[in-house]
Structure 1
Amino acid sequence: MKNLHAFAVRPIAAALAAVLLTAGLNASAGAAEPRVVLIGLAAPLTGASARIGKDLENGAQLAIDEANRNHPTLDGQPVTYRLVPADDQSDPRTAVTVAQQLVDQHVVGVVGHWNTGCSVPAARVYHDAGIPELAPASTGHQYTQQGFDTAFRVMGHDDGSGAYTGAYAVKTLKAKRIVVIDDRTSFGSGLATQFEKGVQANGGTVVDHQYITDKTVDFSGVLTEIKSKQPDLIFLGGIDIEAAPLARRMHQLGIHATLLGAGGFVSQTFLKLAGTDGDGVTALEPGLPLERMPGGPAFDAKYQASFHQPIELHAPFAYDATATLIEAIGQTNSTDPHKLTAALHQIEHKGITGTIAFDNEGNLKNPAYTIYQVRGGKWVVVDVLGGTTQTASK
């Protein structure tokens, strides 16, 4: 009877072992499936500024792809990073809706927004959810002056831009009769105000201040009024798609003043729209020139190989914002947004645009600014201000 019992038990035990082995293999297979970590990208993906939004998306995606090629892990388990693009249409109200949608999708952080006018109201949504926002190009100082510990930016803000351009207009360009135009956006008005302060601080005079909107296409009226002031320099608080037709109309009306701008002129689109009328236009842009960024030349080559087009404007900064967030995830070994926010306040990420580290407000420490001028249909570097000396990597 004992032998019969043993004979009967063996197949049962073997079957049980097979079941347990199969379950173990299934569990192992399940454990090996990468966990997906979502990172939001908020930018204008439709409308007049869609080219810039796509540029930001491309830059962020390159950082995502590079991180995934390194087979990242979290708590010893494989993870895959995935970008979640959201279209804010360069509209503040839409930006708030988009921000809440990203929060509801449980992103661990957001790269965006491009416009200061979008980042300012969206920042409250992210703060209430405890999610860090890393703005690649929202240069209005008011974005980080709201007191939200979740708000960061990876380029200099307009207080610096205004001070530098104001000093440059008076001391270098020797402008005596300066006119200011702003487009009434958060970015344009804030920049125009800081520029005026910079002019006054350097002993210059603003003889007129005119207003347009970011939808203005015909500048005849405002320029006719300005021509009577006999300006030798016109400062525009606005972006490239406003600056290009403004430059054209200035030439048509025989206004021979220098057109000066900051933080939004230096793009391929400006060159295409302005044509030969763009020659002589001068602009300050936050950040180092691409060729002087520590990882600029290599990034430029990767970007063009991946997307078969030149960088439009701010892709390197979107890349660095994304890579900085991913580094914070690695440092904390966590996707808890509160832990990530705390880590970002202490981080020193060696990015392609330079070292990414933040002050108490969330502003980039020691930012650089570059003066460009259009010569022969190309943006040419004239001077680099602020920042630290950087060596381009090969």
Structure 2
Amino acid sequence: MRVKAVSLAIVGLVGGLAMSVANAQEIIKIGHIGPVSGPQAHFGKDDENGVRMAIEDLNAKNPEIGGKKVKFQLVAEDDGADPKQGTAASQKLCDSKVAGAVAFVNSGVAIPSSKIFNDCGIPMITGAATNPALTKPGYKTTYRVIANDNALGAALATYAAKTLGLKQVAVVDDRTAYGQGLADVFKKEAEKLGVKIVATEFTNDKATDFMAILTSIKAKKPEAIFYGGMYGQAGPMLRQMAQLGMGEVKMFGGDGMCVPELAKVAAGAKPLDHVVCADGGSSLAKMPGGTEWKKRYDAKFPGQFQVYSPYFYDATMLLADAMKRANSWDPKVYIPFLQKTDYQGVTSKIAFEPNGEMKNPTYTLSRFVGGNKTAIE
């Protein structure tokens, strides 16, 4: 009896091992880096949610790549919107042997980090970092799924000059790669269109007191202020404009301030009614899958949506799509397939130029109506 019992136990063990091997899944690590702490945490958490949602959707389909069952796994790191922390996080993902990364809100973090990913041969896609310098090196590992600052700055300058007929504008930036880069594009394009730049000032991305800058600008009588920076500074600036009697002065800015959170930080300041801001990409209502995707996002992450998460969702899906077409998650094998992407995403139809920029990127201009971000038709 004991021999028979032992034999049955061995048979059961072998059978269990066989089933375990048959059901074994290869783990494919996808990295995310963003500011999930600090003043820009709203952005970082929203983006990470987009990646997480994509990974859940991929795994729900019991994916196979190259005839092997696979499971995608998120490896998330915090960059605190700081270049040093971001490059350290990038190296950490390289050391963790992620198959790809979907990362970065800030261009100042993305630009130095892109070299690290290139050196370790891992593709990196951003759905938020917009400085054109990111793709200038021509790394085969760097991609962007959103319009860059050349498109956003030019669109805002054209709207200011041609649609609103503005003649005098002041420019302020936060000296980051993103803020200064966007402000420089706006300034150059606005001057081409006959707008006079009456003042050029700068601050930093941690500042909250702008009274001295605004007092100086007020004396120049601008019709609008262009701010190159994030919502965390734009909000207090709007409040202080109101305190200085500049309630009718317009404010222009890019995607860094073009978020619902701006209304909260501005706390009902009158100049919020005169904000015009630009996002890369279409409004959710005009995205091919935006409305339905947003319903699913809100069910999973209520109250957390900002702006970039659908782009981070699509970027994650792009990595998986390239791996499937290549029958491999080895970056050396699937990067050429990533370069030849032709993918219908939630945000748009995505294909890349040789330098990793999107072909035919779109943008959306928005206002804040009753405190709600609203696309300008």
TM-score, scaled to structure 2: 0.94
CA distance in 1, matches of 2:120, 2:162: 46
What pairs with 1:366-381 in structure 2 (closer than 5 Å)? Answer: 366-381=360-375
CA distance in 2, matches of 1:304, 1:174: 39
Map of 1:121 onto structure 2 = 112
CA contact (8 A) 1:144 1:152 kept: yes
CA contact (8 A) 1:38 1:81 kept: yes
Map of 2:130 onto structure 1 = 139
Q: Displacement, 1:22?
A: 5.8
CA distance in 1, matches of 2:324, 2:283: 29
CA distance in 2, matches of 1:209, 1:18: 80
CA distance in 1, matches of 2:9, 2:259: 65
Map of 1:391 onto structure 2 = none
Q: What is the RMSD computed on CA atoms of the aligned residues?
A: 1.9
Aligned: 1:244 with 2:238: no
Map of 1:388 onto structure 2 = none
Residue by residue over 1:226-263, the C-alpha shift from the partner in whole angstroms, topping out at 9 and shown as x without a partner, is: 01110001100011111111111111101232111112
What pairs with 1:30-49 in structure 2 (closer than 5 Å)? Answer: 30-49=21-40
CA distance in 1, matches of 2:14, 2:318: 39
Aligned: 1:352 with 2:346: yes
CA distance in 2, matches of 1:21, 1:185: 63
Residue by residue over 1:329-384, the C-alpha shift from the partner in whole angstroms, topping out at 9 and shown as x without a partner, is: 1111101112222111101111000012111110111111111011111111113x
Equivalent residue in structure 1 for 2:261, among 266, 269, 287: 269
What pairs with 1:285-364 in structure 2 (closer than 5 Å)? Answer: 285-364=279-358
Residue by residue over 1:245-298, the C-alpha shift from the partner in whole angstroms, topping out at 9 and shown as x without a partner, is: 111111110123211111212212111111322212111111111111111111
Map of 2:167 onto structure 1 = 176
Map of 1:150 onto structure 2 = 141
Give the aligned residue type for 2:371.
G
Q: Displacement, 1:16?
A: 9.9
Residue by residue over 1:277-333, the C-alpha shift from the partner in whole angstroms, topping out at 9 and shown as x without a partner, is: 221211111111111111111111101111122511211111011111111111111
CA distance in 2, matches of 1:237, 1:150: 28
CA distance in 2, matches of 1:275, 1:260: 18
CA distance in 2, matches of 1:141, 1:340: 25
CA contact (8 A) 1:111 1:134 kept: yes
Identity of aligned residues (%): 35
SS at match of 1:279: helix
SS at match of 1:313: coil
Residue by residue over 1:188-207, the C-alpha shift from the partner in whole angstroms, topping out at 9 and shown as x without a partner, is: 00001100111122222212
Equivalent residue in structure 2 for 1:207, among 191, 195, 198: 198
CA distance in 2, matches of 1:327, 1:184: 37
Map of 1:254 onto structure 2 = 245
Q: Displacement, 1:19?
A: 6.5
Map of 2:60 onto structure 1 = 69
CA distance in 1, matches of 2:161, 2:308: 28
CA distance in 1, matches of 2:136, 2:126: 14
CA distance in 2, matches of 1:16, 1:270: 70
CA contact (8 A) 1:31 1:77 kept: no
Equivalent residue in structure 1 for 2:73, among 75, 78, 82: 82
Aligned: 1:233 with 2:227: no
Q: Displacement, 1:212?
A: 0.5
CA contact (8 A) 2:249 2:274 kept: no
CA distance in 1, matches of 2:329, 2:181: 35
Q: Structure 1 residues 18, 212: CA separation in 2 closer, same or farther (over 3 Å shift)?
A: closer
SS at match of 1:119: helix
CA distance in 1, matches of 2:276, 2:293: 25
CA contact (8 A) 1:275 1:377 kept: no
SS at match of 1:152: strand
Q: Displacement, 1:28?
A: 4.2
Residue by residue over 1:34-53, the C-alpha shift from the partner in whole angstroms, topping out at 9 and shown as x without a partner, is: 11110000101111111111
CA contact (8 A) 1:32 1:77 kept: no
Give the aligned residue type for 1:345.
Q
SS at match of 1:37: strand
Residue by residue over 1:140-199, the C-alpha shift from the partner in whole angstroms, topping out at 9 and shown as x without a partner, is: 000111221110011000011111111111111211111100100000000011001111
Equivalent residue pairs, number: 371
TM-score, scaled to structure 1: 0.90
Map of 1:7 onto structure 2 = none
Unaligned runs of 5+ in 2: none
CA distance in 2, matches of 1:353, 1:127: 26
